Amino acid sequence: METSKLKQELVKLLGKDKVLTEDLDLMYYSYDSSFLTKLEPSQPNAVVFPKSTEDVQKVVEFAYANQINIVPRGAGTGETGGCIAVQGGIVLDLSTWNEIIEIDVKNMQVIVSPGVIHAELNNELAKHNLFFPPDPGSSMMCTVGGMVANNASGLRAVKYWATEPYILGLEVVMPNGDVIITGGMKARCIKNVSGINLTKLMVGSEGILGVVTRIRLRCFPKPKARGIAMAVFDNLDDAPEAVMDVYQAGILPSGIEILDSSAIKAVNDFKPEIKLPDAEAILLFEVDGNPPSVEYEGQVIREVTGQRARSVEWATEPKRMAELWEGRSVTAAASARVRPDGSRIFAGEDISVPISRVADTLRALRDLADQHGIQIVNYGHIGDGNVHTAPVINPEIPEEVEKVIKFVDEVHLLAIEMNGSTTGEHGVGAVRRPYAELEHGKAVEYMRKIKAAFDPAGIMNPGKVF
Ligand SMILES: Cc1cc2nc3c(=O)[nH]c(=O)nc-3n(C[C@H](O)[C@H](O)[C@H](O)COP(=O)(O)OP(=O)(O)OC[C@H]3O[C@@H](n4cnc5c(N)ncnc54)[C@H](O)[C@@H]3O)c2cc1C
């Protein structure tokens, strides 16, 4: 359909304030946070701003009748091109539809529209001593709808896992315009094993099965206390061993982070006053709960990791905890500065491997980087084996781009070889779909069948996942 006609039709459906079709406006929607979209931006034909289920439904019904692609979008912080109209179409920007509809304190749940920002939701929940535990690094920017679509998680996934277990029910506009409610039409219960679990199927489906328009989320009581341990290792292999020792001692910290020597150096160059000890690896353990349990767990972590670490420090005092954590919190920014003429790219940034293979993986990543002449910084959520690699290149130099593309391909293959996954939390999107068959084999056929059953016209976010 011609742009002017498309605009006319969309304005008829939603009104002119909710429709964009000018080139300059659309250009912004050619990108998310992935390196792929910096290399190959794809402009949609139109962008709309739905503010209700009816708005979404009208646009989807129109798109279905006219065989036009639909691409849901939250805040665009995804690192895989997931919210980009790689085959053209209408982008549904849901970020302005950001209503906390109801905090049901008695039933430990909250109902939100898809555009609510994660951190803002938790600020509101904190007033009721509740929280929604998954904690992506993009918390201040990303939408809850985007988190549901990507099954987002963060450093506290060790104890609290990802978004999926907290989703009690969803309202979804299906690719033909039908509206369904998963998890029970009228349900306010937490426990529910009735029917095929469509909620679970929708979470992590990256916007290819329907548009999430309402989310019923489970909340947890907000922990009262927190403690941080920093353990410093001269031998890289001792770091994952220490993580397993802690688990064997019966302790499940809320987060366990690793900085390898490349990250330690990057942080010290970036902010020398942090003075991270020079070492092969640093582990940061975060423990939360009630004050006596936090003290006990901290004590055990100190004893257990002390058997392998050069030094261990434990803190519960807020100022000291912040100091211990600062190295980790600036790692991403520090990575971007390791080369004055370079920038950190988001590609191959999210592999996941068994904890027992983290040290081998970090070594293999360094070898690969050396082979390709790429500078990298490695850190990540070692508590669940999620390794974040930051390649730093000058994207203006075509040879460097060519080298990094090869490097990233080998990083993804390495993850599978290590009995891991190409993505621990950021998703597949357009970037990692070439690895679907290798990672999942025949299961991909069944994923395609599910997609075809939900979206026979193939208009819902095509070109993603497989
Ligand atoms: C600095 C930084 C740090 C990050 N840290 C983390 C991290 O620690 N953990 C982590 O998991 N991720 C992280 N991410 C990635 C990203 O923030 C998450 O995947 C986040 O959940 C995406 O949310 P969004 O609102 O930006 O979604 P978008 O990027 O806009 O969209 C992501 C996907 O969700 C789909 N989608 C969005 N809304 C809907 C909807 N309502 N219905 C159906 N589909 C929808 C889109 O089509 C797309 O496929 C980080 C990103 C950045 C830039």
Q: Which residue minimizes the CA distance to atom 50 of ligand 1?
A: 138
CA angle (297, 299, 302) in 5-degree steps: 110
Residue 208 alpha carbon to ligand 1 centre in Å: 14
Residue 142 alpha carbon to ligand 1 centre in Å: 6
Q: Mean pLDDT across the stretch 444-465?
A: 98
* Ligand 1 pocket test, candidate residues 56, 150, 202, 433, most atoms within 8 A of CB: 150
Sign (positive or negative) of CA dihedral 13, 19, 21, 27: negative
Residue 425 alpha carbon to ligand 1 centre in Å: 10
* Ligand 1 pocket test, candidate residues 60, 138, 343, most atoms within 8 A of CB: 138
Residue type at position 151: N
Tokens 């100022």 appear where? 319
Is the pTM higher than 0.75? The answer reads yes
Ligand 1 binding residues, C-beta < 6 A = 32-33, 71-79, 82-83, 94, 114, 136-138, 142-143, 145-147, 149-150, 152-154, 206-207, 211-212, 425-426, 429, 461
Structure-token pair, residue 249 = 């001692």
Ligand 1: atom nearest CA of 141 is 26
Q: Which residue minimizes the CA distance to atom 2 of ligand 1?
A: 138
What stretches of 284-357 show up as alpha helix (H) in DSSP? Answer: 291-306, 318-329, 331-335
Q: Which of 89-93, 222-226, 331-335, 448-452 has the lowest mean pLDDT?
A: 331-335
Ligand 1: atom nearest CA of 332 is 1
Residue 108 alpha carbon to ligand 1 centre in Å: 25
* Ligand 1 pocket test, candidate residues 30, 35, 77, 208, most atoms within 8 A of CB: 77
Structure-token pair, residue 245 = 């020792």
- At 1 the pLDDT is 86
Round to whole Å and give the CA distance between 404 and 239: 28
Residue 146 alpha carbon to ligand 1 centre in Å: 4
pLDDT in tens, 1-26: 888 899 999 999 999 999 999 999 99
Residue 78 alpha carbon to ligand 1 centre in Å: 4
Q: Read off the DSSP letter of residue 51.
A: -
pLDDT in tens, 388-446: 999 999 999 999 999 999 999 999 999 999 999 999 999 999 999 999 999 999 999 99
Contact 114, 94 (CB under 8 A): yes
Mean predicted lDDT score pLDDT of the chain:
97
CB contact set of 8 (below 8 Å; sequence gap of 6+): none
- At 386 the pLDDT is 97
Of the chain, the percentage scoring pLDDT greater than 90 comes to: 98
Which helix (H) or strand (E) segment holds residue 243: the answer is: helix 238-248
Q: Mean pLDDT across the stretch 436-460?
A: 98
pLDDT at 56 over 90: yes
Q: Mean pLDDT across the stretch 110-125?
A: 98
- At 28 the pLDDT is 96
What stretches of 348-397 show up as alpha helix (H) in DSSP? Answer: 358-372
Q: Which residue minimizes the CA distance to atom 49 of ligand 1?
A: 82
Ligand 1: atom nearest CA of 155 is 8
Which helix (H) or strand (E) segment holds residue 171: the answer is: strand 167-173
Ligand 1: atom nearest CA of 72 is 47
**How many Cα atoms occupy the beta-carbon half-sphere of 437 within 13 Å?**
2
Residue 26 alpha carbon to ligand 1 centre in Å: 19
For 397, phi then psi, to 5°, come to -100, 110
Q: Which residue minimizes the CA distance to atom 18 of ligand 1?
A: 78
Nearest C-alpha neighbor of 154 from the set 138, 166, 143, 131: 138
Residue 75 alpha carbon to ligand 1 centre in Å: 7
Residue type at position 159: K
Residue 33 alpha carbon to ligand 1 centre in Å: 9
Residue 319 alpha carbon to ligand 1 centre in Å: 31
Round to whole Å and give the CA distance between 24 and 197: 42
Residue 295 alpha carbon to ligand 1 centre in Å: 35
pLDDT in tens, 227-246: 999 999 999 999 999 999 99
For 460, phi then psi, to 5°, come to -90, 105
Q: Mean pLDDT across the stretch 68-76?
A: 98
- At 442 the pLDDT is 98
Nearest C-alpha neighbor of 220 from the set 100, 108, 335, 377: 108
Residue 35 alpha carbon to ligand 1 centre in Å: 15
Q: Mean pLDDT across the stretch 323-346?
A: 93
pLDDT at 336 over 90: no
Q: Which residue minimizes the CA distance to atom 1 of ligand 1?
A: 138
Ligand 1: atom nearest CA of 153 is 11
Ligand 1: atom nearest CA of 77 is 26
pLDDT in tens, 144-203: 999 999 999 999 999 999 999 999 999 999 999 999 999 999 999 999 999 999 999 999
Domains and CATH numbers, the chain: 100-221 (3.30.465.10), 225-334 (3.30.70.2190), 338-427 (3.30.70.2740)
Nearest C-alpha neighbor of 130 from the set 166, 156, 158: 166
